[in-house]
Amino acid sequence: MKQAKQKHTCDRKDRKTKQKTLRVSLALGIAILITPLLTTHAWSQGCILARSPEQSGLPTGEGGVLQPGHFEITIGERHQFSYQHYVGDVYQEYRAQAKTQVENRINLVTANLTYQISPRISVEIDAPWLFATRKSQSSPIKYSATGLGDTILGVNGWIWKPTTPHRGNLSGGIGVMMPTGNDDVQNTVNSNTTGVGPVVETTAPVDYSIQPGSGGWGMVMQWMGYRKIGSSLTFYTDGDYIATQGGTNGVQRSSSTTTPLNNYVAISDQYLMEAGLLFPVSRVKGLGIMLGPRDEGVPAKNLFPNSNAGFRRPGYAVTFGPGAQYVRGSNILTASIYKAVRRDRTVSYPDSVYGSHGDAAFAQYVWLASVTHRF
């Protein structure tokens, strides 16, 4: 009897321990959907411009789902330095040898505010602020742009009620991207780079890859999901696609008579998706380690059947890397670094018309960090 009682007590303790581990692991798994990508409107890979929102998701953390009537704010930072040129998936090593690489430095600070309407439904507003520079190694001229980017308003909802225990869940969202960012930032520079003679001032729009805005409206479609695996491992996935109005934004970049389709900047679709595994660090409460790939880029043609004319650098970058997330009370901290494993500058619509294939500069690493507070 005594041994049976002890065994029953041990079994009960084991169950409680397993349940506690499951709750913590699931909470971290859900929380990771808030901030793994939280630097909204990502400039994906330098010349390959993508403004896909870094998922803000629905506000949950180790304390559970954000209660109706409560808010959550997230501040994120994204940093990348793009300089390696590709045509298709072929690295253009000669650009580095000739010192003609174009270098884009991007720092993107974002603010996301989410309001929980009900246990399943939330609304959000997401606004980025861009700090960017662009320079060719063969020229002393440096271009820069700073300003508010395109703002997104969205609504998200879980398929299953999150207040009921589940080993996994799925969420979908829809929103609108508004052209609040300036798509025609101009710089005045000295175009006389010889070092002798008078200054020759030239004013022109900076390259579209460092413009804060896209110049067009877009429909945002996003998803997220997680699934508990075993006693502690969690699989997660999230992503989004911005289907834009298409056409051009009216910003003229050239006046060519031989390639007129490239004279104005295209309003391009963009996408971002990721997946990975998360596991909690048992010795540090609230700490989770994550590992997985990301795929982000700009398609050669837009989803909606509008004009694909205009200059764009379509392509994609697949990256892979680790990250960490720490949940404490009403706060969530994340940091991650992703290394490029595949980069491809694909053929644009004007390229296909003219029988050409342009290049684009990609980053070797992408750095992400964010802090989230619920109130």
Q: What DSSP assignment string belongs to 260-329? A: GGGSEEE---EEEEEEEEEEE-TTSTTEEEEEEEEEEEE-SS-SSSS---SB---EEEEEEEEEEEEEET
Could you tell me the residue range of the domain that residue 121 belongs to? 2-374
- Segments of the chain assigned E as strands: 60-61, 64-65, 71-87, 90-91, 102-116, 121-136, 142-148, 151-158, 168-178, 186-190, 201-205, 218-229, 233-244, 248-252, 264-266, 270-280, 287-298, 315-328, 331-345, 360-374
Q: What is the pLDDT of residue 60?
A: 34
CATH of residue 288's domain is: 2.40.160.40
Listed in sequence order, the DSSP H helices in 325-368 are 349-354
Cβ atoms of 74 and 370 within 8 Å: the answer is: yes
Cβ atoms of 58 and 71 within 8 Å: the answer is: no
Q: What is the pLDDT of residue 297?
A: 94
CB neighbour list of residue 14: distance below 8 Å, 6 or more residues apart: none
Cα–Cα distances in Å, from 191 out to 155, 195, 254, 288, 334?
47, 10, 16, 51, 43
Q: What is the pLDDT of residue 9?
A: 47
The torsion region of residue 224 among left (phi > 0), alpha (psi -120 to 50) and beta comes to: beta
Q: Which residues in the chain show pLDDT less than 50? A: 2-10, 13, 17-19, 21-22, 24-25, 34-44, 50-53, 55-63
Q: How many domains does the chain contain in total?
A: 1
Nearest to 299 by CA among 316, 277, 319: 316
**Tens-digit pLDDT profile for residues 196-233:** 889 999 999 999 999 999 999 999 999 999 898 988 88
State how far Cα 80 lies from the chain centre. 12
Residue 183 exposure: Cα atoms within 13 Å on the Cβ side: 22
Distance (Å, whole) CA 127 – CA 351: 33
Distance (Å, whole) CA 345 – CA 297: 9
Q: What is the pLDDT of residue 76?
A: 94
Residue with structure tokens 């619509």?
349
CB atoms within 10 A of CB 161: 12
Distance (Å, whole) CA 128 – CA 213: 10
Q: What is the pLDDT of residue 42?
A: 45
CB neighbour list of residue 191: distance below 8 Å, 6 or more residues apart: 141, 200, 201, 202
Distance (Å, whole) CA 18 – CA 1: 25
Q: What is the pLDDT of residue 30?
A: 52
Nearest to 115 by CA among 67, 71, 155, 74: 71
Residue 4: helix, strand or coil by DSSP? helix
**Tens-digit pLDDT profile for residues 4-34:** 444 444 455 455 544 454 454 455 555 555 4
Nearest to 343 by CA among 321, 315, 367, 322: 315
Q: What is the pLDDT of residue 270?
A: 94
